[in-house]
Amino acid sequence: MNLTQEINRRRTFGIISHPDAGKTTLTEKLLLFGGAIHVAGAVKSNKIKKSATSDFMEIEKQRGISVATSVMGFEYKGYKVNILDTPGHEDFAEDTYRTLTAVDSTIIVIDAAKGVEKQTRKLMEVCRMRNTPVMVFINKLDRPGKDPFELLDEIESELSIDVRPLAWPIGDGENFKGVYNIFDKSLYLFSPNKQTREEGIKIKDTTDPLLSEYIGEETSQQLNEEIELIEGVYSQFDINEYKKGKLAPVFFGSALNNFGVTELLHAFLEIAPSPLPSKSDQREVQPNEDKFTGFVFKIHANMDPNHRNRLAFIKICSGKFVRNRNYLHVRLGKQMKFSSPTAFMAEKKEIIDEAYPGDIIGIPDSGNFKIGDTITQGEKFMYKGLPSFSPELFRYIENADPMKSKQLAKGIDQLMDEGVAQLFINQYNGRKIIGTVGALQFEVIQHRLLNEYGASCRYEPINLHKACWIQSNDQKQLEEFKKRKTQYMAKDKYGRDVFLADSAYMLQMAQEGFDKINFYFTSEF
């Protein structure tokens, strides 16, 4: 196969949702149908094994949540499918945000009973920033839930995206009979089964007499009316609008019972984009260019605690990656050769000789990589768009053991490279402030510093509302602002100016009083 054919058959996507909407279950069923696993439950048991390989993961394992992005690849019907299953828990949102920079499309999972939830809205904002194509899977139809039309209205208003149902549920809860697939005009009858996939019954359309034979006259008539209403209210599915990130096709089902997953997968493979162009600070890079390029979107430490190893996850953007070939690490300006690049299937890793755009590979890292690093075949540019979001929780971090100050400094430096949290140094008193998006991260950092670096730390409270990066073309006003707000000014890990507002009112007054200063709530690495 040539490069273009390899690119066209790849689908790299992320599965995102609010916690407990059924994201990991859907991932598992996609793998089950793809033949990548043979027994349902394998992904969850792998996650338990995976979390047990590293001490700090115990904290999250006790809470029963996904904590790190899992990368899984498999072959299915001629396609190479790369799934990135992300943490749903908001305390680990930074990992999810960055993972979304490495995918070409996403599937958002929504609980039919709960509808759109807080974390779903946040994740959709990230998709919108990048115009990422979005597909919606409304899950748990075998339980009582909201009316499907109400759910569609909620998705449109809450997520600010047009929707188009490509499947439609027949009943819900105890009366759930199945799903009519509008996309390929077939009927899927519901029978709870956690291990096998369902087969569709082909029908001409909802007026086909076969329909009432399977679901009854009354239900058939109701479905007919609902499909007419859909055709009248929603415009026809436009694949170009979907690929621009403006239209979300919607599917219904029950991932736990393997229901509705097959048609989701088949429609996804047909309409989802193959690897897309990537923006760098110099130009737009096309996936079918001859020369290899890629960027680091995630670093994971201690995947094997016996070796204290770190893995850098690299998304391939163009060309063909070849093992043991020299490539340029742009930030360091030096050539590097990778002898053991790995591909992933949940926690299983295998060494690969080559990989193509859309693929995710793991490179053993001894400290050479930071999130956002670009690797090329010689060209000097950096990929853009790896956002760092303004933290919402802050604490001073202090050394609890004066004999271990070097270990603490090294630990903080490396954990910040991983993107576990953000470090700010107060310019007024020189104290270090850790900012995170979730309280659980403070525990994780403290635990890892002690267990991985032998350094003890303690936290002290600090009352802050928001950290925002500031920039201005008016140097005079910028200097005046820094002078007036001296005790609220800090530098981030990269030496950029950060304003630490202690209340929403203070931030608003600063924005109104200094109109030539731009206040940013996302940064890029």
Reported as a single tens digit per residue, the pLDDT across 332-386 is 999 999 998 988 765 567 888 999 999 999 898 887 888 889 999 999 999 886 7
Whether 74 is in a domain gets the answer: yes
Do residue 417 and residue 345 come from a single domain?
Answer: no
- pLDDT(452) > 90: no
Strand partners, 329: 334, 375
Beta carbons within 10 angstroms of residue 414's beta carbon: 19
Structure tokens at 236: 């026809």
- Beta strands (DSSP E) in 338-472 are 342-345, 348-351, 354-355, 360-365, 374-376, 387-389, 393-399, 422-426, 432-436, 457-461, 466-472
Q: What is the mean pLDDT of residues 314-322?
A: 95
Do residue 313 and residue 363 come from a single domain?
Answer: yes
- Boundary residue ending a domain (344, 376, 408): 376
Do residue 8 and residue 141 come from a single domain?
Answer: yes
Do residue 285 and residue 263 come from a single domain?
Answer: no
Lowest average pLDDT, out of 41-50, 142-151, 295-304, goes to 41-50
* Rg, C-alpha atoms of the chain: 25
Most confident of 34-43, 63-72, 223-232: 223-232
> Residues of the chain with pLDDT > 90: what percent?
46
Q: Are 515 and 438 in contact (CB under 8 A)?
A: no
pLDDT band at 503 (very low <50, low <70, confident <90, very high): very high
Structure tokens at 426: 């107060």
Do residue 307 and residue 448 come from a single domain?
Answer: no
Do residue 394 and residue 427 come from a single domain?
Answer: yes
Lowest average pLDDT, out of 126-140, 200-214, 275-289, 403-417, goes to 200-214
pLDDT band at 29 (very low <50, low <70, confident <90, very high): confident
What single-letter amino acid sits at 286? Q
Strands 422-426 and 489-492 come out as antiparallel
Q: Are 72 and 82 in contact (CB under 8 A)?
A: yes
Beta carbons within 10 angstroms of residue 514's beta carbon: 20
> Residues of the chain with pLDDT > 70: what percent?
85
Whether 381 is in a domain gets the answer: no
Which one is predicted more confidently, 48 or 255?
Answer: 255
Whether 153 is in a domain gets the answer: yes
pLDDT band at 67 (very low <50, low <70, confident <90, very high): very low
- pLDDT(49) > 70: no
Most confident of 82-91, 413-422, 432-441: 432-441
Do residue 505 and residue 459 come from a single domain?
Answer: yes
Structural domain boundaries, residue 439: 390-524
- pLDDT(136) > 80: yes
Whether 432 is in a domain gets the answer: yes
Helix (H) or strand (E) segment spanning residue 407:
helix 405-417
pLDDT given at position 210 = 74
- Boundary residue ending a domain (248, 271, 294): 271
The enclosing domain of 135 has a CATH number of: 3.40.50.300
Whether 27 is in a domain gets the answer: yes
- pLDDT(462) > 90: yes
- pLDDT(51) > 50: no
The enclosing domain of 474 has a CATH number of: 3.30.70.3280
Do residue 265 and residue 309 come from a single domain?
Answer: no
pLDDT given at position 55 = 35
pLDDT given at position 45 = 45
Whether 508 is in a domain gets the answer: yes
- Boundary residue ending a domain (227, 250, 271): 271
Whether 258 is in a domain gets the answer: yes
Using CA atoms, how far apart are residues 114 and 160, in angstroms rounded to an integer? 18
- pLDDT(53) > 80: no
Domains in the chain: how many in total?
3
Do residue 16 and residue 123 come from a single domain?
Answer: yes
Do residue 245 and residue 152 come from a single domain?
Answer: yes
Using CA atoms, how far apart are residues 414 and 369, in angstroms rounded to an integer? 10
Output the 3-class SS for 3-64.
HHHHHHCEEEEEEEECCCCCHHHHHHHHHHHCCCCCCCCHHHHHHHHHHHCCCCHHHHHHHC
Do residue 265 and residue 283 come from a single domain?
Answer: no
Which one is predicted more confidently, 98 or 348?
Answer: 98
Length of the chain in terms of residues written: 525
Do residue 282 and residue 244 come from a single domain?
Answer: no
Q: Are 70 and 44 in contact (CB under 8 A)?
A: no
Give Cα 96 to chain centroid, integer Å: 4
- pLDDT(44) > 80: no
Whether 131 is in a domain gets the answer: yes
pLDDT given at position 92 = 59
Using CA atoms, how far apart are residues 459 and 447, in angstroms rounded to an integer? 12
Q: Are 75 and 11 in contact (CB under 8 A)?
A: no
C-alpha distances in angstroms, 185 versus 124, 200, 211, 426? 29, 9, 11, 61
Positive/negative CA dihedral, 53, 107, 161, 168:
negative
Q: What is the mean pLDDT of residues 212-229?
A: 85
3-state secondary structure of 507: helix
